[in-house]
Amino acid sequence: MLIIVSMSGRNFALIAGPSSINFARSMAKQMECEVVDVEFKEFPDGENYFRIVSDVRGKNVLIVQSLYPPVDQHLIQLLFLSKKVTELGGFVYAICPYLGYSRQHREYLSGEVVSLKVVSHLMASAGVRRLLTVDIHNVEGLGLFTFPAFSVSAIPVIAEYVQRNEDLSDAIIVSPDFGSSTRVENFSKLVNRPYYVFEKERDKVTGEVKVKALQLDLEGKDAYIVDDMISSGGTVVKAARALKSFGVKRIVAVCVHPVLAAGAVEKMFEAGVNKIIASNTIENKYGIVDVSSTVVNYLMLLG
Ligand code: R5P
């Protein structure tokens, strides 16, 4: 069957999942597409209830649902919605601005569950036919999906925000680990400032992070630590301590996904971070850069 996706977005209908109400609203406004009427409630025992009220038969239905904590709750909500839309004759695109479990896309220690693979199978069995996410932790993860899965980068939009709102005359850009270096190199080119890559080691059992960096003279500089996500804050904390010891004056932690597990923000501020700038793939007070246009533009191209 040939699926035609209209360039104007008029063949899309959109569901604002409970975890991404604002992101979805912003997408719907840009795409001028129909918003599917869904009744949702959470029972006192934590179970979810959904009812799809609008007619979705024959439509390409974008279910916008970011998979940030509580990850399992947000995942099950996506699966419920997808299953019902499929039963009602819709074609499901899962739009997961943040794709939880993407850090476990392979077995690091033998016997570990490859969580992302299980997520991919659950999505497929609930009827998901396309997945679009933002800055997946590692693009290798996309290969685990049995249906077309894509990741788009929000770095250009975030870089533009930083350039517009920050004084970058004394700025250096820092990648806290090698894994983020391509992303950070791209960011540094966009804002036209030099960048440094630190080396990070994470203990695979305890999760403890060690950051190594050559002795640098960064007296009086403003450092922008750029990463795909901040979860426990451990990576940023280690990088911030090293930067302070090199004489850095001001530190801004920039990330796409502000997962910010309990205590992360406090730890980072204690380590000398002055500000956090993040995108709205996760809806919290630090997710201030609206990157929904990145997703919309990509959908328009998918054709
Ligand atoms: C790791 O490779 C990622 O790019 C991030 O650096 C990491 O996931 C951040 O996690 P945390 O904040 O827990 O150190």
The domains found in the chain, sorted by start residue, are 2-153+290-302 (3.40.50.2020), 155-280 (3.40.50.2020)
Tens digit of pLDDT for each residue in 247-295? 999 999 999 999 999 999 999 999 999 999 999 999 999 999 999 999 9
Using alpha carbons, select from 33, 29, 31, 32 the residue that is nearest to residue 13.
Answer: 33
For residue 136, what are the CA distances in angstroms to 8, 9, 131, 212, 263?
Answer: 26, 24, 11, 25, 24
| Cβ atoms < 10 Å from Cβ of 211 | 22
Asked which of 4-8, 37-41, 202-206, 215-219 is least confident by mean pLDDT, the reply is: 4-8
Cis peptide before 70 (omega within 30 of 0): yes
Residues touching ligand 1 (Cβ under 6 Å) are 176-177, 179-180, 209, 227-235
pLDDT at 7: 40
| 163/127 Cα distance (integer angstroms) | 41
Residue to mutate, 200, 206, 231, ligand 1, most ligand atoms under 8 Å from C-beta: 231
Contact 96, 116 (CB under 8 A): no
Q: pLDDT band at residue 3, thresholds of 50, 70 and 90?
A: very low
Residue 60 Cα to ligand 1 middle (Å): 34
Going through 9-90 in order, the beta strands assigned E by DSSP cover 12-16, 34-35, 38-42, 48-52, 60-64
Q: Is the pLDDT of residue 212 over 90?
A: no
pLDDT at 213: 66
Average pLDDT, the chain: 93
pTM: 0.93
| Cβ atoms < 10 Å from Cβ of 62 | 30
| 275/255 Cα distance (integer angstroms) | 11
- Which pair of tokens denotes residue 63? 């279910």
Q: Is the pLDDT of residue 8 over 50?
A: no
Residue 217 Cα to ligand 1 middle (Å): 25
Q: Is the pLDDT of residue 159 over 50?
A: yes
pLDDT at 274: 98
Q: Whose CA is nearest to atom 10 of ligand 1?
A: 231
| 201/207 Cα distance (integer angstroms) | 9
Going through the chain in order, the beta strands assigned E by DSSP cover 12-16, 34-35, 38-42, 48-52, 60-64, 91-96, 128-134, 149-152, 171-175, 195-197, 199-202, 209-212, 222-230, 250-258, 275-279, 287-289
Q: Is the pLDDT of residue 4 over 60?
A: no
Residue to mutate, 101, 103, 227, ligand 1, most ligand atoms under 8 Å from C-beta: 227
Of 9 and 223, which is predicted with more confidence? Answer: 223
